[in-house]
Amino acid sequence: MKNIGMITALLLSLALVGCSGIQQSEKSPNSKEEKSEACNADNNDESSIENNTNEKDNLKEDGGKNKVDAHINEILETMTLHEKICQMFIVIPEVLTGVDKVTMAGEITEKKLEEYPVGGMIYMEYNLVSKEQTVEMISKTQKFAKKNHGIGMFISVDEEGGKVARCAESLGTTQFKPMYEYKEEGTPTAYQNAKKIGSDIKQFGFNLDYAPIADTWSNPENQIIGTRAYSDDFEETAELVEAAVKGYCDGGVLTTLKHFPGHGDTQTDSHVGIATSDKTIEQLEKEEYLAFERGIKAGADMVMMGHITMNSVDKLPATLSYEMVTNQLRNKLGFKKVIITDAMNMGAIANNYTVEEGTIKAIQAGNDIILMPMDIERAVKSVEDAVANGTITEERIEESVKRIFILKIQMGLLDME
């Protein structure tokens, strides 16, 4: 079954991000739908977890120490460095298992998750054959993952509506036009569309969506974003993105603003080559940042970095830039939650950096999650080696894992008991 050459070709051919085993068992349907409290406006840190319990006082220990922090620290103390590092990766199932076009989760998936207990999985349309098959595959994958310290996985997909809609394409969920075509209908429609998309994908077991697009289609020649954007006006994009974040949250899934600092003014598709922007920080603050700021304030759970080389800043892809990830997004915009890379198999990174180089530079820049590495074994080992030689500290790894665990607690993927 294994065909590494086919898998490599498959990885190189994946056009858009955001999105085995041998045996199958009976379907395990999701439990009843519940409104997610993971995304709460103005709760840009772990304090939002308090909304998930009626006994808020129980989240504080004697002496005022946060019970959530204490619990996470207890878990970290039981984990190996390898297990911590693995939590920082979200992979396609083919890279995890070595199997081409995975459509089920069985012995191979179970074994590989024991070896590489990654933080999450991202599925493409070819992984999704039917509603029943998708539910079973995801349910069993979560079951296998939770054997590792009881830690569930981010189960993710690209479901923006329009032309990037894995579940709508493969599973027959609600079809939407590109978001740009709804801009005249304002924030009520942006909210309702997002809420419907969120609830549609949640029924299969997805808990993380790589949406909404926070890019503004400010360059008419830009076709990689184009009508995926909510608007061609920066202020209008900000208003619509804010509404969409709230909709996705009420639909029951984690949200991801993408692609920071803004992919709507570039001309090159970063999936195939180097996309550049000549905008200065001052220009970004007045234009592209507006939608990200509003989305963050609305309670977005993750922000995805774009592989956009900022010529006026440091001439590095923003994903690998400490200035863009840490100084701008983390510090200037005050984003305290999870920062995730765009797919590391995209041409802008894969054609210019090795798996090891891209992984280490992304972590050094300040990213918490590495999305879709070409090779999980090489990527994880590179981080283990970096810790061993002092390039990256274990404390730096734990900073990211703590942010990841806070979201997992909010989504019920990590028990507080």
Active-site positions read 271, 342
Check residue 99 and report its DSSP letter. Answer: B
- Count of Cβ atoms closer than 10 Å to residue 305 Cβ: 26
DSSP letter string over 41-95? Answer: TT--SGGGGGGG-S-GGGGB-GGG-BHHHHHHHHHHHHS-HHHHHHTTEEE-HHH
Q: Three-state SS string across 316-374, please? A: CEHHHCHHHHHHHHHHHCCCCCEEECCCCCCHHHHCCCCHHHHHHHHHHHCCCEEECCC
Are 397 and 387 a contacting pair, CB within 8 Å? yes
d(C-alpha 87, C-alpha 151), whole Å: 9
State the helix-helix crossing angle for 186-202 and 234-251, rounded to 10 degrees: 40
Are 85 and 148 a contacting pair, CB within 8 Å? no
Instruction: Tell the residue number behind the tokens 């890019």, with chain if given.
Output: 215
Q: Which run of H or E residues covers position 113?
A: helix 107-115
Q: In this structure, what are the phi and psi dihedrals at residue 77, rounded to the nearest 5 degrees?
A: -65, -25
What token pair was written down for 333?
């915009």
DSSP H helices, 172-306, are 186-202, 234-251, 281-286, 289-298
The residues facing 246 across adjacent strands are none
Output the CA angle 319-325-329, nearest 5 degrees: 130
Residues for the chain: how many in total? Answer: 417
d(C-alpha 228, C-alpha 224), whole Å: 8
CA atoms within 13 A on the CB side of 164: 24
Are 102 and 20 a contacting pair, CB within 8 Å? yes
